[in-house]
Amino acid sequence: MTIEEKVGQMSQSTSLATPFSENIKQEIRQGRWGSFLNAGSPADRAEAQRIARQESRLGIPLLFGRDVIHGYRTIFPIPLGQAASWDPALVEAAARTAAREAAAEGIRWTFAPMLDIARDPRWGRIAESPGEDPYLASVLAAALVRGFQGASLDDPASVAACAKHYAGYGAAEGGRDYNSTWIPELLLRQVYLPPFHAAADAGVATFMTAFNALNGVPASGNSFLLREILRNEWKYSGMVVSDYNAVTEMIAHGYAADASDAARKAVNAGVEMEMVSTSFRDHLPALVKSGDVDRKTIDNAVRNILRLKFRLGLFDEPIPSPATSHVTPDSLAVAERLATESTVLLKNRNDLLPLSNSIGSLAVIGPLADSRVDQMGTWVMDGRAGDVQTPLAALRQMLGDSRVHYVPGLRSSRDTNQQEFSAAREAAGRSDVVLLFLGEEQVLSGEARSRAYLNLPGAQDALVDAVAAAGKPMVAIVMAGRPLTFRETADKVDAILYAWHPGTMGGPALAGLLFGRTVPSGRLPVTFPRSVGQVPIYYAHLSTGRPPLASELGVPAGTPVDPHGYTSRYIDLDFTPEYAFGYGLSYTTFEYSNLRVSAATVPMGGTVTVSADVTNRGSREAPETVQLYLHDVAASVAQPVRVLKGFRRVILKSGATETVTFSLTTNDLAFYNEKLQPVTEPGQFEVWIAPDSAGGVKGSFTVK
């Protein structure tokens, strides 16, 4: 290969789009591009592949990539919603479905999963995140890689996955997208890197560098991340791609002087393919000639790119014929099940839910009840609104048009016009129960959609007040891309279902939950604050030297001049979250009891089992996600008050009891010490088997 052909393989373009220009065709013949992003129609991709395979000098196939984030044609809940299912097998099935649909149209590379730990709901991209916990995120990372890549990458129905954004992007300062992150290495290794390591261990084909600067060094020029950790420590053998224009954005970061300097720093740090910007193509040949970039560095990068294309079977398989993906009964079944399992029941006063099938009529209020586009959420480049089944449509199908009184109330979630409020109140007055569909429309979450406030946008709170005046039981169904703060509204309604953006089948899933055909089982993958002023808030925090006291909850906090107590809390708001990590209600009641630890003392290198009885005290069969938490009481580096170490989904019939057992080795108790070494230290450990991060039954054991 010539140096130009090598650098061509290291370059990805977005310029293949309908109409397919003669200029691009000629550049493909010349080996100018190795990959295309968001590349035209299936017919365009097939023709581009034919030219690359049959008319270029070396016949190297192209690799077509796309953001297949939470579905391709069939749209599943947003990733944060999928994490709320705590069901890795179902998440894997959704990714497998998305891979089949994308691969059928010539897409063999997805820029997912996004594995950024996110503890700031102001950040718009929390919608794409697996949440705040490294253990849950790591389990889901492996599931997503398995789903996208299948049993083998050369399966024509598989796509190469991409672990992004490496690394630390979820800690963007101020919750603002593209912003800097400052993460001590100990915290980086303990919290932010584990999901990426899990993806690497699961065989993820590619990594993507993040937009952010980590501790002053942009991720696309960060050899500590890309060479020291990824290559040397983790022995990763896949390919590394930059994010969109991220190489040349190092100039704006103040890290690179110009495009040539950016190309030099990126490729020497370990970036092997440049997405969209052209600094590699424009400057790498000269940088190799001058000796600023070693030719071996280029050769190793191209080997990794070509190896991926070989693993995908692109050199061997026939040039694909143009094809179009469609939703299928199977894909819709997976989408409905995942939308069901992702929905979290946050409140159910007086067991209002599930509603009786004999109910007279419903008032359905809110624009999100019948907004196909908003229901899909962020990053749905190939989803089609015509495939989406909304809650309004599902409820009308279930009950008949005459029993469903629909008033949007607002034109969108951001609307402040109250002209329809009287009609909404009238509809509520002649109905037995009110369903309020609240939250965020599609454009309010996702990339470049950070928010300074987390309240319900527009006049939604006022709409709730207007409808509440009718005096009817009210259920709030919240569709959003992040945790929201809606405390006053929560106090006014009788039940709350948090549905995230649930995707194509969100309507039937919610109708089934509302009327008890299914039972809510979602659990929060992220802590919900009471106010934006609590952010960042997460369950696995340190205790501090003056931890707040439970006795201080709900008492007058005093004034800044005369505060009541000197503990780590607020003087104007309770320190606890609105809803804890792992929280979620059911249509039944589960009781946890009789925690047992297999041994009071565990030798280093040994194993301990922890068990508890979980009993369904209600009248319905239902699933429960049983969670295992641990606390290292005294260590050389202070440890969080709790950390998740396991979870199991069990289904219990009414009155049934199941003993749920978890097994831990002493390696599972390890943390990073001051020397950044993973160690397990002797000492006492507290352990909980719990329904969430704030409750459960407790025991202890000692490691010697």
Domain harbouring 617, CATH code: 2.60.40.10
Q: Is residue 434 part of a domain?
A: yes
**pLDDT at 39 (0 to 100):** 82
Could you give the CA distance from residue 429 to residue 375 in angstroms, rounded to a whole number? 27
Q: Is residue 52 part of a domain?
A: no
pLDDT band of 553, cuts 50, 70, 90: confident
pTM for the full predicted model: 0.97
Residue 317, pLDDT > 90, answer no
Q: Is residue 534 part of a domain?
A: no
Largest CA distance in the chain: 80
CA-CA-CA-CA dihedral for 324, 330, 332, 337, to nearest 10 = -150
Q: Are residues 434 and 368 in the same domain?
A: yes
Q: Are residues 239 and 358 in the same domain?
A: no
Q: Are residues 433 and 369 in the same domain?
A: yes
Q: Which of 497, 514, 531 is the last residue of a domain?
A: 514
Q: Are residues 257 and 336 in the same domain?
A: no
Tokens of 452: 């300074």
Q: Is residue 527 part of a domain?
A: no
Could you give the CA distance from residue 133 to residue 116 in angstroms, rounded to a whole number? 10
Residue 559, pLDDT > 70, answer no
CATH code at position 139: 3.20.20.300
Let me know if 243 is a catalytic residue: yes
Q: Which of 238, 272, 294 is the last residue of a domain?
A: 294
pLDDT band of 554, cuts 50, 70, 90: confident
Q: Are residues 370 and 255 in the same domain?
A: no
- Residue of 243, 261, 370, 692 marked active site: 243
Q: Are residues 376 and 505 in the same domain?
A: yes
CB 509 within 8 A of CB 339: yes
Q: Are residues 236 and 122 in the same domain?
A: yes
Q: Are residues 557 and 600 in the same domain?
A: no
134, 109, 104: which is closest to 119 by C-alpha?
A: 134
CATH code at position 455: 3.40.50.1700
What's the domain range around 498?
329-514
HSE at residue 218, side-chain half, CA atoms within 13 A, is 26
Q: Which of 239, 270, 294 is the last residue of a domain?
A: 294
Could you give the CA distance from residue 128 to residue 635 in angstroms, rounded to a whole number? 34
Q: Are residues 336 and 414 in the same domain?
A: yes
Strand partners, 701: 685
The number of folded domains in the chain is 4
Q: Is residue 337 part of a domain?
A: yes
Q: Is residue 312 part of a domain?
A: no
Q: What is the pLDDT of residues 354-406, one digit of tens each?
A: 999 999 999 999 999 999 999 999 999 999 999 999 999 999 999 999 999 99
Q: What is the mean pLDDT of the chain?
A: 96
For residue 536, is the peptide bond before it cis, meaning its omega torsion is within 30 degrees of 0? yes
Q: Are residues 153 and 272 in the same domain?
A: yes
Could you give the CA distance from residue 587 to residue 518 in angstroms, rounded to a whole number? 9
Surface-to-core class of residue 451, CB atoms within 10 Å of its CB (0-12 exposed, 13-18 middle, 19+ buried): buried
**pLDDT at 558 (0 to 100):** 60
Q: Is residue 266 part of a domain?
A: yes
Q: Is residue 420 part of a domain?
A: yes
Distance of CA 86 to the CA centre of its chain: 12
Handedness of CA 690, 692, 698, 701 (dihedral sign): positive
Residue 18, pLDDT > 80, answer no
Q: Are residues 195 and 241 in the same domain?
A: yes
Q: Are residues 458 and 558 in the same domain?
A: no
Task: Please name the residues in contact with 560: beta carbons below 8 A apart, sequence gap of 6 or more.
Answer: 571
Residue 44, pLDDT > 70, answer yes
